[in-house]
Amino acid sequence: MSLTILHLYPKEMNLYGDHGNVLALKKRCEWRKIRTKVIEYEPGDPLPKDFDIIFGGGGQDSGQSKIEQDLLRIAPEMKARIEDGTPALLICGLYQLFGKYFETAEGKRINGANILPLATVAGPKRLIGNIKISTSSFGDVVGYENHSGLTKISKNANAFGTVVTGAGNNGEDLTEGIFYKNCIGTYLHGPILPKNPRVADFLITKALERKTGKKYTLDRLNDRIELRAHNVAATRPR
């Protein structure tokens, strides 16, 4: 069995160690004897036809501007894949740009792919610090947020989780991220997956189920170190 990870815009959108999420997916597959291939996709590249997991990280406003037109070009295929259940993890900048738009502090609107029901505007200050959220699917999830964007998700959309400590989507409504089909959008850096192995295994499981067309149960791993890191992060002050 093998899985292909599509890593969107790793040069422009890779702040705060987000590449570690790809490494975590690779290792958790390799430990289970699942072969992995990572395709790094940059603006202008031909979009591969065969991939099983989508990943995209965070970036500065300038990085978002650089990828805007290319993301709009591939948006129809990305939308089709998300709607078809391809698992995806989108962090910060690409979480924003898979929505309707991101409006900068200067009032410039960067058009998004309009795949996820959300929109973002830059706020007056950055929301920075350790964050813990409560989720119905994965229990407590921990990470680190650093964003000025204030994101509002549709009233009918499911948030990734509810803020326990931190700001989340906008610092007001206690929502954090979005959970749409098998796509998770979130502001949690860190990276998120090494300290939250249940989230990583969800993405791997859904990819295998989609590929094989049947239910799939992953072999259990010894997550002692990962869970220790999770517990330490969960007790850190804001």
- Looking at residue 53, which CATH number applies to its domain? 3.40.50.880
Give pLDDT tens digits for 99-113. 999 999 899 999 999
pTM of the model: 0.96
Model pLDDT, residue 82: 98
Instruction: Show the domain range for 26.
Output: 2-234
**Active-site amino acid positions:** 92, 189
Give me 156's structure tokens: 């009918």
**38-47, 63-72, 120-129, 221-230 — which is least confidently predicted?**
63-72
Give the model confidence (pLDDT) of 165-179 as tens digits: 999 999 999 999 999
Mark 4-27 as b/e (b = at least 16 C-beta within 10 Å): bbbbbbbebbbbbbbbbbbebbbe
Number of independent structural domains in the chain: 1
What are the counts of helices (DSSP H) followed by strands (DSSP E) for the chain? 6, 12
pLDDT digits (tens, 9 = 90+) for 59-73: 777 778 889 999 999
pLDDT at res. 14: 84
